[in-house]
Each structure stands twice: as C-alpha cells, then as structure tokens.
Structure 1
Amino acid sequence: MPLNGRSSNGGLAAQTGWIGSVARFWEKTYAPDYVGFVLLLAAYFSVQFLIEPFHRLFFLSNINIQYPHAEVERVPVGWNIFYAGGIPLVTLILTLAVTRSSIHKCHVTLLGFFISLILASFITDVIKNAVGRPRPDLIARCRPAPGTADHALVDINVCTETNHHILHDGWRSFPSGHSSFAFSGLGFLALFFCGQMHVFRPRTDLGRALLAMSPLLGAAMIAISRCEDYRHDVYDVTCGSILGMAIAFFSYRRYYPRLRSPKCDEPFPSRETLFNEGFGKLKDDEETGRVATTREFDLDNDEEE
C-alpha cells in the first residue's frame, strides 16, 4: 500500500541523489499547485487571445439579439477585476495579518484564491468559444450589410463591423465571464469568512452570518449588471454564477476542511508536515525490521461535537 503517495519501500523520495531530492521537494511542497497554476495561466491567455469563438448562424429578425450595444458598461472588465479580485485579495491579506495567521495559512489561502480566479476564467473562456452563443446585442455589433435578408439564416460574413474584438466577442455570450469571475473571487472570500467565523456551527449569530455572506451580494450585483448592459441574458448570468461559485468551493475545500468542522478556521496541515510524519514512520519501520503500514490522515476533520 502507498504511504502518502510513496510505495512501501520509499519510492523515489527515499532514493539518494538528485532524483530523490527532486521527488522529495515535489511531494512535500506545493510545487505541483504552482506548476498547474502557471499552465492554467498560459492556457487562459492562449484561449483569450489566440482562439476565435464558434460563430453560430443567426436571423436578423431574432428579437433576442436585437438589443443595443452599450458603449459604456456598468462594470467594465477592469473594474470587475478590481471588485472581484483586488478587493477580496486586500481583504484576505488584512484579515490574515490582523489575526496573526501562520505562514502556512496565509500561503494556502492566497494560493487557493488565485487558483479559483484563473481556473474559473479558463473554463469560462473555453466554454464561451466552444458554444459560440450570440450575445443579446449581436445585431448592433454586427452591423449587417444593407439588403441582408431578415428571415434567412446568415453568418458572420454579412457583418460590416471592422473592429475585430467587438465583432467576434458577439459570439461569446455563454456563460457570463463577469459572473463566473465575480463569484470565483467574492465567493471564495465568502467561504473564507464563513470558515473563520464558524457560520455553520450551532448558535452562530445572524450578524456574523450576514457579514460572511455579504461578498455574495456584491458578486450578484456584478452579474445582474451584465443583463442591464444587454451583454448577457439571465441564462448566461445564472450559469456563469453557478460555475464561478462551484470553482470557488472546489478551490477552497482543497485547502480547508468542511464548514461544519470544529476546525474550519484552520487549513489542512502543510504537505511538508504530512511528508515528514509519513517519512519518519517509514524510516522507523525499516530500522526495526517491521513492514510499513499506510497512515490514514483525516482530511475532512469531520469530528462530532
């Protein structure tokens, strides 16, 4: 049976030389998470700037895509990054500093936050380009050539808009990127607050619960603004919000126990701690001539009160 990902004879981590050093570094640090984060970041920018969306055919008479194109958005991309990325980041840093949290807690909290943002952005853009759903303001973006038939299926070739981004972005309606990003950032902050204040434990006062859930209201307002600007419809916004919140929960739970746990305010032990415990156990077993057994770690912290 494996011990913390190693075989009973120690595996690569028990070897000497540079191979063993690299294997031990890989197992007892968060290097795999950072490698994955960099790959996600590279994949996101590739999808964002190098891949064009699938262009669905459309009718000029379709009233669902005849809304005006808003030149000035209520929440532009830059402000969305500030609201859902910058403000939660500063809030997390201040909270961790005020509570004098350990370096490990600060590390995994911020790492989980950034992974939540980039993972949501990447998945959203992949779906956007694959689905190619027209935005509610597609006709205004397209500027169809005069004489184009109203009741016949047409494609992008009838469009006269010369701005590449404005035109092609018209087929990136589903899901809402603003919504998924907002809930991945502010949703992560809400989960963090819920854990720190034990919101889901018995006898928690309503004030703490409202404070912990307040970031979700901000995320919801950002999502609603996309309908007000006619960039998305309710379906796009709802799916984007669910996607962002699901990714925030996924990223949070990779480093923190369930919110009903008595230890929900503290992250799981560091990988170095688990590695050293497991490796020490393996060494002791070898020295005494006993066969090493698998150590089970309670990663859920599901103790009952």
Structure 2
Amino acid sequence: MPRNGFAAGSASPRSPQNEITGTMSRLYQRSYPVVDTVALACIVGTWILIQFFATPFHRMFSLDNKSIQFPYAVVERVPVVWSIIYAGVIPFLILLVWAAVFRPYPHKVQVTLLGFLIALMLTSLVTDIIKNAVGRPRPDLISRCIPRKGTPEDALVSWTVCTQPSEHMLQEGWRSFPSGHSSFSFSGLGYLSFFFSGQMHVFRPRTDLCRSLIAFVPLLVALLIAISRLDDYRHDVYDVTCGSVLGLSIAYFSYRRYYPTLRSVTCDMPYGRDDALGSDGFSKLADDEEQQILGHGSGSRQWQPREESYPLATAATS
C-alpha cells in the first residue's frame, strides 16, 4: 500500500480558496493594463481637485530677505503651456510615430504609452502635493506680494500684508519647492530617454556613440527647461535640483514597471501579460513532501512504494 494514503496516479487536491485565488490572479494578469488605466484616471482626478481646492501653506517672510527680492518676470522663457508641449505633447507624438512606423504588437504600444502618461501625471500630483505642503516662498515673492506701506522690514510678517489683486499670482508665490517645470520635464523627457535607451540597447557593450547621443538629447532638453526657471527667478538651485531628481525618479519607476533593466538582453521588450505570475497565480511554496513527489517523478509517473527491509539484529548468546 502506498505511503501517506496517496493512491497511484492521483493528483494533489486543491482547495476552493486556492482555486479562487488562482482565478483572480490570472484575471489580473490578463487585465492589469486596464487596472492601471483606472488608477491613472484616479491620479488625474486627484490632481484636478488639488488645482481647484488646495491652497499652499504660507510661510512667514521678511522684507529684508534678499533671497526673495528678485523681480517678477512677466515674460517667461518657457511658459507652462510650452513646458507641457516640450515634455508632454512632443514625446507623446514621438511614441505615436514610433508605433506607426515600426508597428510593434499592441501590448507593447499599450504599456509604453500607459507608462509615459503615468509618469507625467504621477509626477504632477506628487509635485503639487509637496508644493502645497511645504509652502516655500519663491525668489520673486516680494514683487508678487506688493506689501502694504508701513510693513516692518526687519520682522517676520505673514501673507496678509500683501496687496496683490491677482489671487492666483499671489498663491503661486508660496509654491517654490520643488520646481514643477523641472519635475515635469524630467518626467516626460526622462521617460523618453529611458525608452530610447532600451529600444537601441544603449547600455549594451560596444554601443555606438550616435545611438547614445539620441538617447541623451531628451535629458539635455529637460535640463535646459529646468535652467530657464533659474533665469526667470521663479526658483533657486535647490528647487530645480530636487524637482529634477523627483521627475527623473518617477519616470524610471514608471518605465521599470513595464520594461526590464536597461542592461538586460531583452531590454527592448516589455514584460508579457503572463510574466508577473505563474500559470496558477499566487501559490504557496512546496513543502518537503511535495518536493520529494516532484523530484521522484513527473505528473505522468506514479509514486510507487518502495520496498524497505528492516533486518533483525541477532544477539549473540554466550
């Protein structure tokens, strides 16, 4: 009789709970881009609510603080609309042209565009949350504020001393950290740079310089956009540096959710729908007994009982 009650040729039983878990995990594998799209819509909705209802924390300031006495630039070198075009619209069109010319399979196009949009919107959401929570004054705050006459110059004052008629212009004076232009540009253009690097195998050995420069150009454009915020006195170096690191980090996070590392042999191919989990979904690790069953034979073989002999030791009698 076989040991442990296993009948010959019988399969290991599966509980209903494991069946449900496996079904749900397989369903998620097939539809995870749809789930990510729903999450992206939630990110966009939250960002819109912040734009309409959130106000920044107003840090106190002093009129004799030279770091916030820079003039207000009426004409920006890179306005908000053009930053969206440079770091959002143009990279998105480049990805659409890539899809139209090379015609990759639909899953690759889907996850590439989805990762790009997630990088942009997640960066915008995180940046605005930090901006409103920190409430750091911009370098041109006093020019925006237009403080009342008689305001003491050597004492800390609150934002109520400001006489600026434009509410939007005044509130933006406390949204200096981190730089939104920097984070947004390094998010969109950084994602495009990662994508170029993966598709052209830039980090593989003996890659030619031309492909490396093509992948580097988006980062250079993002850097120029970030530097323009210093020239317009909208931010200081600290704001621009932290914003750039934030945008590039989220871009890499979003890219790596769908693509392998850039040094991988298959760095130009996204993860497949079935790569995240096994065919049976989430499952527990096999214990010692199950490992013995799998090790002694495949599913087609039967676990035959082995004959064991236990010789009796005879005691010598004197």
Normalised-by-shorter TM-score class: 0.7 to 0.9
Name which of 226, 232, 236 aligns with 1:233: 236
- Measure, in 1, the Cα distance between the counterparts of 2:210 and 2:125: 35
1:246 to 240, 249, 261: 249
Q: Deviations over 1:136-194 (max 9, x none)?
A: 00000000001100000000110000111000110000000000000000000000000
The letter for the 1-side match of 2:134 is: V
Q: Distance in 1 between matches of 2:271 and 2:59?
A: 46
Shift of 1:26: 4.1
Aligned counterparts of 1:44 and 1:137: Cα–Cα separation in 2: 26
Q: Which structure's CA Rg is the greater one?
A: 2
> Shift in Å at residue 96 of structure 1?
2.3
Tell me the residue number matched to 2:66. Answer: 63
Q: Deviations over 1:240-281 (max 9, x none)?
A: 00000000000000000000001001101125x767x61499
Q: Shift of residue 100 of structure 1?
A: 1.8
**Residue 116 of structure 2 corresponds to residue 107 of structure 1:** no
Query: 1:28 aligned to 27, 30, 45, which one?
Result: 30
1:216 has 2:219 as partner: yes
Partner of 1:10: 19
Amino acid at match of 1:28: R
* Partners of 1:88 and 1:260 in 2: CA distance: 23
CA displacement 1:169-221 (0-9 Å, x = unmatched): 10000000000000000000000000001000000011110111110000000
Matched letter for residue 97 of structure 2: L
Gaps of 5+ in 1: 1-5, 15-19, 283-289, 294-305
Q: Provide, for residues 27-79 of structure 1, a one-character-per-residue CA deviation record: whole Å limited to 9, x for no partner.
A: 42122211211111111111122110000000000000000111111111111
Match of 2:129 in 1: 126
* 1:110 counterpart SS class: helix
Letter in 2 for 1:218: V
Distance 2:257 2:280 in 1: 22
Matches of 1:58 and 1:228 in 2, distance apart? 23
Corresponding letter in the other structure for 2:163: T
What's 1:141 paired with? 144
Runs of 4+ in 1 over 3 A off after TM superposition: 23-27, 279-282
Distance 2:276 2:263 in 1: 23
Give aligned pairs, total. 273
CA offset digits 1:83-105 (Å, max 9, x no partner): 00011001111112222211010
Q: Judging changes above 3 Å, is the alpha-carbon distance between structure 1 residues 252 and 66 closer, same or farther for their aligned structure 2 residues?
A: same
Q: Secondary structure at the match of 2:18?
A: coil
Give the TM-score normalised by structure 2. Answer: 0.81
Rounded Cα–Cα distance in structure 2 between residues aligned with 1:7 and 1:99:
45
Runs of at least 5 residues in structure 2 that lack an aligned partner in the other structure = 1-14, 284-290, 295-318
Q: 1:27 to 1:206 in 2, by over 3 A?
A: closer
- Percent identity among equivalent residues? 56
Q: Hey, what's the Cα distance between the residues in 1 that align with 2:138 and 2:267?
A: 41
TM-score normalised to the size of structure 1? 0.84
CA contact under 8 A between 2:83 and 2:181: conserved in structure 1? Answer: yes
Task: Report matched runs for 1:1-305 at 5 Å.
Answer: 9-12=18-21, 14=23, 25-30=27-32, 31-271=34-274, 278-279=279-280
Any conservation in 1 of the 2:69–2:140 contact (CA below 8 Å)?
A: yes
Q: Distance in 1 between matches of 2:266 and 2:226?
A: 33
Tell me, yes or no, if the aligned pair for 2:186 and 2:251 is still in contact at 8 Å.
yes
Q: Which amino acid aligns with 1:111?
A: L
